[in-house]
């Protein structure tokens, strides 16, 4: 599943050529991906003829600002891809569900074999209407996150985005001390920290030398500072390498190219392989139906 670094890779790539472009037509061939709208026609009508003004990200959501103040929000779900094409003659991949055509004939295609992803147009709330924003996000002291949540009520529930919201380690500590569940559960709960999933939660915990099953409230100040730093360092490195593309998954950037952070993974998907730090085999456990990878010696 694409997580923050993969979504950010897609955002940065699309920002380079979509900003300023006018959406000429939108074709929807699978209504399931625009399920928030009554009909695919409603979705199309909100986009056709409008220009893209901005490309942002919050958690795992891509957000394209339109010239009328509305936002096109795209969540890639488990297997969504956004792929650019020079024109309609480029062969369409299987499972292409939405095609955006721009003024010069170039296309952006939404491809999703498992169809868990979604696209919708969000209309900002009327003046004076209060949006209930996540109590964790409200701890933010800077960044674009709060403005985005006010404009896009569908995303107001999202917890802290490690880059779009600014919180120092002390506020991060307050969040951790208020949670009695395990670190893995806290880090992957989008309503607490937005953007981390299975891969980057495991990698951040290894980098911070903390076990997945430690209760968040049990962390010492030093451990919290270590975790806070590890999350932003791991995500920054992963973005630098264009995200992670695993053998069994299909993450590619809009040019169809895979990421390379899989070469740098310390624990994720490395069950039985020697830990890069202590050489003991990496362990895997199943937690809430999903795999967690860790080193018994290096993480406590």
Interacting residues with Zn ion (CB under 5 A):
275, 277-278, 295, 297-298
Q: Is 60 a catalytic residue?
A: yes
Q: Which of 11, 44, 57, 60 is catalytic?
A: 60
Residue nearest to Zn ion (CB): 275
Which CB sits closer to Zn ion, 108 or 199?
Answer: 199
Which CB sits closer to Zn ion, 98 or 275?
Answer: 275
Q: Token pair of 110, please?
A: 């939404």
Q: Token pair of 86, please?
A: 């020079």
Report the C-alpha gap between 11 and 5 in whole angstroms. Answer: 10
Q: Which of 32, 114, 257, 290 is catalytic?
A: 290
Which CB sits closer to Zn ion, 99 or 275?
Answer: 275
Nearest alpha-carbon partner for 111 in 88, 86, 79: 79
Residue 180, CB-side half-sphere exposure with 13 Å CA sphere: 0
Within the chain, what is the greatest distance between any pair of CA atoms? 59
- Which residues 6+ apart lie within 8 Å of 45 measured at CB? none
Q: Token pair of 22, please?
A: 């006018």
What is the smallest separation between the CB atom of 260 and Zn ion, expressed in angstroms? 23
Which CB sits closer to Zn ion, 39 or 277?
Answer: 277
What is the smallest separation between the CB atom of 234 and Zn ion, expressed in angstroms? 16
Q: Which of 2, 5, 162, 254 is catalytic?
A: 2
Q: Is 153 a catalytic residue?
A: no
**Is residue 192 within 8 Å of 136, Cβ to Cβ?**
yes
Q: Is 3 a catalytic residue?
A: yes
Which CB sits closer to Zn ion, 277 or 291?
Answer: 277
Alpha helices in the chain (DSSP H): 4-18, 40-45, 145-151, 169-177, 183-188, 198-207, 221-240
Q: Is 290 a catalytic residue?
A: yes
Total residues belonging to the chain: 300
What is the smallest separation between the CB atom of 185 and Zn ion, expressed in angstroms? 23
- Which residues 6+ apart lie within 8 Å of 147 measured at CB? none
**Dihedral pair phi/psi, residue 243, rounded to 5°:** 85, -175
Which CB sits closer to Zn ion, 57 or 214?
Answer: 214
- State the sign of the Cα–Cα–Cα–Cα dihedral 123, 126, 128, 132: negative
What is the smallest separation between the CB atom of 193 and Zn ion, expressed in angstroms? 24
What is the smallest separation between the CB atom of 277 and Zn ion, expressed in angstroms? 4
Q: Are strands 71-75 and 81-85 parallel, antiparallel or unpaired?
A: unpaired
**Dihedral pair phi/psi, residue 179, rounded to 5°:** -115, 130
What is the smallest separation between the CB atom of 295 and Zn ion, expressed in angstroms? 3
Q: Which of 3, 118, 164, 203 is catalytic?
A: 3
Give the residue carrying structure tokens 């307050």. Answer: 174
Positions marked catalytic: 2-3, 60, 290
């Amino acid at each position: 599943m694409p997580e923050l670094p993969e979504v950010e890779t897609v955002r940065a790539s699309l920002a380079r050529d979509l900003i300023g472009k006018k959406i000429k037509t939108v074709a929807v061939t699978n209504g399931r991906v625009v399920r928030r709208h009554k009909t695919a026609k409603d979705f199309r009508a909100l986009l056709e003829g409008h220009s893209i003004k901005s490309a942002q990200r919050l958690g795992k959501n891509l957000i394209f600002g339109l010239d009328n103040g509305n936002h096109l929000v795209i969540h890639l779900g488990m297997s969504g891809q956004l792929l650019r094409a020079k024109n309609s003659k480029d062969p369409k991949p299987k499972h292409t569900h939405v095609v955006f055509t721009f003024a010069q004939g170039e296309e952006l295609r939404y491809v999703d074999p498992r169809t868990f992803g979604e696209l919708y147009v969000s209309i900002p709330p009327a003046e004076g209407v209060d949006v209930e924003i996540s109590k964790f996000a409200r701890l933010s002291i800077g960044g674009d996150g709060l403005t985005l949540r006010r404009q896009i009520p569908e995303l107001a529930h999202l917890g802290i985005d490690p880059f779009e919201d600014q919180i120092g380690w002390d506020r991060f500590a307050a969040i951790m001390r208020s949670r009695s569940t395990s670190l893995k559960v806290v880090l992957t709960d989008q309503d607490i920290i937005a953007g981390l999933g299975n891969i980057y939660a495991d990698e951040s915990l290894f980098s911070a030398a903390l076990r997945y099953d430690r209760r968040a409230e049990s962390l010492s100040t030093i451990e919290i500072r270590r975790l806070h730093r590890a999350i932003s360092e791991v995500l920054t490195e992963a973005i630098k390498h264009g995200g992670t593309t695993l053998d069994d998954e299909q993450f590619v950037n809009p040019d169809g190219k895979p990421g390379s952070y899989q070469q740098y993974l310390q624990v994720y998907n490395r069950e039985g392989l020697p830990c890069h730090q202590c050489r003991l085999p990496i362990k895997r456990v199943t937690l809430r139906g999903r795999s967690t990878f860790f080193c018994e010696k290096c993480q406590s």
